[in-house]
Amino acid sequence: MDLKYHRFLHIPERLWGLVDIAYNLWWSWHPEAKMLFKQLNRQAWDESIHNPVKMLRELPAETFDAALRNAKYLHHYDIVMARFKRMKSSRIGWFREHYPKLANYPIAYFSAEYGLQHSLPFYAGGLGFLAGDHVKECSDLGIPLVAVGFMYSDGYLHQHIRPEGWQDNIVEKLERDLAPISRVLNQDNSPIIIKIPFIDPTIYVTVWKVDVGTIPLYLLDTDIEINDQSVREISSRLYTGDKELRLRQEIVLGIGGTQLLNALGIKYSAMHLNEGHPAFAPLERIRERVEEGVNFNDASEIVRKTTIFTTHTPVPAGHDLFPFEMMDKYFHNYYNALGLDRGNLLQLGFHPLDPDAGFNMTAFAIRMSGYHNGVSKRHGEVAREMWQSLWHDIDIDKVPIDYITNGAHLPTWLNPKMEYLINTYLGPSCPHWMWEHDDPALWELIDEIPDEDLWRTHYLLKVKLINRIREHKRRKWMTDYADPMNVVAGGALLDPSALTIGFARRFSTYKRADLIFTDIERLKKIINNRWRPVQFIFAGKAHPNDDEGKRILQKVYNYAHAPEFGGRVAFIEDYGEQIAQYLVHGVDVWMNNPLPPLEASGTSGMKAGFNGIPHLSILDGWWPEAFNNRNGWAFGGEEVEGDRTIQDSNDLYEIIENKVVPLYYSSSREGIPLKWVKMMKECIKTVAPFFSARRMVKEYATRYYAPTLESVINEMKEDGVTTEVCNYGP
Ligand SMILES: *Cc1c(COP(=O)(O)O)cnc(C)c1O
């Protein structure tokens, strides 16, 4: 018997498949699998906060015995299990069909964060969800990926807002035993422990695993007894403000992660670095070759040809910079192991325009990789400008940084009710629409959906969102005697019939969450219109060390308090995956107004777009590629000298007053705003196929993964190596 069932002996063997599914996040993007848990006990499901492992552990045996007697449940169970097994053993998929010779050559994907599902708090924001969606999509497409990341044990950083609007952070430890992760074991069932080579002082790492469909995600954890206390804390939390701790984290991720893949016998052929944090991974790959006798230059040539680096932000604070002395402290033995002296290695992290600044992880990642890309067309331009100096004497348009625009995982972010509706009208002529959802032609059928049906579904989701918010606040009011102001600020007075604009993301300064509050009198008129009211829902966390972000949050929160807005500005605490789902399904408009050109892509607007929620956004990130005048609104495309707050906020007010409000409250038939629904349809048609993770991952696969793997295979042929077995590890 597999060890993992030992903890679930209260579940009859006939239902052990539930345990298998609980440990594979595949369930989270398959509503029929989610139903298996929900149907066991709806309340327990909610109380577990949608963590099936916790729920299965805690439910009494009687619940499962009752399920055994329920023929309907068993029938549903058998269908889901059959699908699950088919997925697990799948030897088909888009990648295999198109690149049958390459499907056995794994690609190692490294990221410091993964946003996958609520029960795994290994993310801070957009970068994490991008990585999570990438991995899910690789599973759907049959791409042979192996992912590496961190097990952050202090993962939940809950946001609590004080009455005066200041953000406090409450750490909730992840209970490893109740999370859907399992320990990676040696053959004798002892936990695997890896030593990070040549790094002083020594760091040991243990490893957990979560299955994401067919893709294994390995999670590094330094919290083991053999380590010193300070080492144990390396993997406690994501993105600390402590530079040295951060360097240690990046050593663990890059070097430890690469060692881990070796220890598991995973013979990957290419590496994909999601942002600069894991950039020591290719260095470790080089060191291994140097150890085999290859010289540094030849080794780095081989590694570079098979390394892909995706940069994700033009914001300076997003690029780690480590003082050289700090590098020395950890790497002094490593320099020798590479056959380099100190200067040669540190030079790889110079920024040519500021070589004394320190070791720049992005510059390093670019030098270590053969393929580099930004994450939208606009960001490609910005990144070429930012990093032009790495290539001397080269024209800016020749700088070899390309772009692949981000996408979001449609099955994760499309609401099941919306999916059901779409299926009713697309299904008959395109039974496999979900499978081919990056084909724009099939989305033309969206026009077949009767306006009233689309509107009704949307309205239902909006009511669901607002009910959820109000119910939460009601409970706080009842059980915690919450301050009435806090109850109002949290959304107790929200009204489903009012035009609802959503803004939810991290409260980084450049995102300008407070832009709409630039002219309070004007905003009051918009919000408090007796016949055409507008309400705003805000959510998001500021980084724990970002006082400026916290001040912006406080400002927004205080407006949510203010009687002058009549409860029509709400701030929802503790933004995370779950609240994000409610919001991108249920608001009427998704708003985004970062300071251009600092938004590399943005993905939350895509998630909203899948659900027919038009985007009201400044022309930055992905929006210039998507906006067509019929699927939302745009402003701020031009360059502005100096402070652009006034101009941008004026544009925003003007659009809301003259375009959004009139369209939403336009003459309607039986309460259905037909012109609005037309825009909703246009929005789904233009966003779903092009801004899905499917389109994105196919681009990575065809433009980067496949050529890389092909060159590896060709070289192996030249060397007389003919067979390679795909090994995903345990
Ligand atoms: C998608 C998502 C983000 C990304 O937001 P953007 O500002 O659009 O990049 C952040 N947080 C959560 C929880 C998300 O789901």
Phi–psi pair at 689, nearest 5 degrees: -75, -40
Residue 206 Cα, ligand 1 centroid: separation in angstroms? 30
* 348 occurs within a structural domain: yes
CB 254 within 8 A of CB 334: no
Domain that holds residue 33: 3-89
User: Is the distance from the beta carbon of residue 106 to the nearest atom of ligand 1 less than 6 Å?
Assistant: no
CATH of the domain at 113: 3.40.50.2000
State pTM to two decimals.
0.97
Together in a domain, 201 and 54 = no
Return the ∠ at Cα 167 (arms to 131 and 128), rounded to 5°: 0
User: What pLDDT is attached to residue 728?
Assistant: 52
Pairing type for strands 145-150 and 215-221 reads parallel
**Residue carrying the six token digits 């270590």:** 368
Here the contacts of 718-721 (C-beta below 8 Å, separation 24 or greater) are none
CB 604 within 8 A of CB 623: no
* 39 occurs within a structural domain: yes
530 pLDDT higher than 70: yes
Q: What is the mean pLDDT of residues 462-469?
A: 98
Q: What percent of the chain has pLDDT over 70?
A: 98
What are the angstrom distances between the C-alpha of 99 and each of 92, 105, 293, 406?
11, 11, 33, 23
Together in a domain, 398 and 439 = no
Together in a domain, 481 and 558 = yes
* Alpha helices in 627-673, H assignment, sequence order: 645-655, 661-664
pLDDT tens for residues 283-342? 999 999 999 999 999 999 999 999 999 999 998 888 899 999 999 999 999 999 999 999
User: Is the distance from the beta carbon of residue 580 to the nearest atom of ligand 1 less than 6 Å?
Assistant: yes
User: What pLDDT is attached to residue 411?
Assistant: 97
Together in a domain, 178 and 39 = no
User: What pLDDT is attached to residue 559?
Assistant: 97
pLDDT tens for residues 421-433? 999 999 999 999 9
* 414 occurs within a structural domain: no
CB 414 within 8 A of CB 342: no
* 268 occurs within a structural domain: yes
Residue 505 Cα, ligand 1 centroid: separation in angstroms? 5
pLDDT tens for residues 143-159? 999 999 999 999 888 99
Residue 414 Cα, ligand 1 centroid: separation in angstroms? 15
687 three-state secondary structure: helix
User: What pLDDT is attached to residue 136?
Assistant: 98
User: Is the distance from the beta carbon of residue 502 to the nearest atom of ligand 1 less than 6 Å?
Assistant: no
CA atoms of 415 and 430, how far apart (whole Å) = 19
User: What pLDDT is attached to residue 727?
Assistant: 54
What are the angstrom distances between the C-alpha of 439 and each of 443, 687, 690?
7, 11, 8
Least confident residue range of 16-30, 455-469, 643-657, 666-680? 666-680
Token digits of residue 72: 């309907």
Residue 160 Cα, ligand 1 centroid: separation in angstroms? 19
- Mean pLDDT score of the chain: 94
DSSP letter string, 14-79: GGTHHHHHHTBGGGGG-HHHHHHHHHH-HHHHHHTTS-HHHHHHHS-HHHHHHHHT-HHHHHHHHH
Together in a domain, 37 and 170 = no
Phi–psi pair at 44, nearest 5 degrees: -65, -35
1 pLDDT higher than 80: no
721 pLDDT higher than 70: no
* 641 occurs within a structural domain: yes
Residue 542 Cα, ligand 1 centroid: separation in angstroms? 13
Together in a domain, 232 and 322 = yes
374 three-state secondary structure: strand
pLDDT tier at 180 (50, 70, 90 boundaries)? Answer: very high
92 pLDDT higher than 90: no
Residue 151 Cα, ligand 1 centroid: separation in angstroms? 20
More confident residue, 418 or 3: 418
Q: What is the CA radius of gyration of the chain?
A: 26
Going by CA atoms, what residue is nearest to atom 3 of ligand 1? 126
Together in a domain, 270 and 348 = yes
| HEC letters along 95-150 | HHHHCCCCCCCCEEEECCCCCCCCCCCCCCCHHHHHHHHHHHHHHHHCCCEEEEEE
pLDDT tens for residues 334-360? 999 999 999 999 999 999 889 899 999
Chain centroid to Cα 440, Å, comes to: 24
More confident residue, 483 or 209: 209
User: What pLDDT is attached to residue 718?
Assistant: 82
Together in a domain, 703 and 674 = no
365 pLDDT higher than 60: yes
User: What pLDDT is attached to residue 729?
Assistant: 52
pLDDT tier at 205 (50, 70, 90 boundaries)? Answer: very high
Spell out the residues 6+ positions from residue 637 whose beta carbon is closer than 8 angstroms to its own: 619, 624
Highest mean pLDDT among 168-177, 376-385, 478-487: 376-385
Token digits of residue 501: 């604009």
Burial 355-373 (b: 16+ CB within 10 A, else e): eeebbbbbbbbbbbbbbbb
* 460 occurs within a structural domain: yes
Count of CA atoms in the C-beta half-sphere (13 A) of 103 = 17
* 683 occurs within a structural domain: yes
What residues form DSSP beta bridges with 593? none
Going by CA atoms, what residue is nearest to atom 12 of ligand 1? 125
Chain centroid to Cα 707, Å, comes to: 26
Going by CA atoms, what residue is nearest to atom 4 of ligand 1? 126
Nearest to 620 by CA among 378, 314, 313, 375: 378
pLDDT tier at 392 (50, 70, 90 boundaries)? Answer: confident
User: What pLDDT is attached to residue 3?
Assistant: 73
User: Is the distance from the beta carbon of residue 505 to the nearest atom of ligand 1 less than 6 Å?
Assistant: yes
90 pLDDT higher than 70: yes
Tally of domains in the chain: 3
Together in a domain, 673 and 711 = no
235 pLDDT higher than 50: yes
CA of 605, closest atom in ligand 1: 8
* 417 occurs within a structural domain: no
Pocket test for ligand 1, best of 406, 603, 617 (most atoms within 8 A of CB): 603
pLDDT tier at 2 (50, 70, 90 boundaries)? Answer: confident
By 3-state DSSP, what share of the chain in percent is helix, strand and coil, each rounded to 5? 50, 15, 35
User: What pLDDT is attached to residue 730?
Assistant: 47
Together in a domain, 185 and 333 = yes
5 pLDDT higher than 60: yes
Together in a domain, 463 and 376 = no
User: What pLDDT is attached to residue 670?
Assistant: 83
Together in a domain, 11 and 138 = no
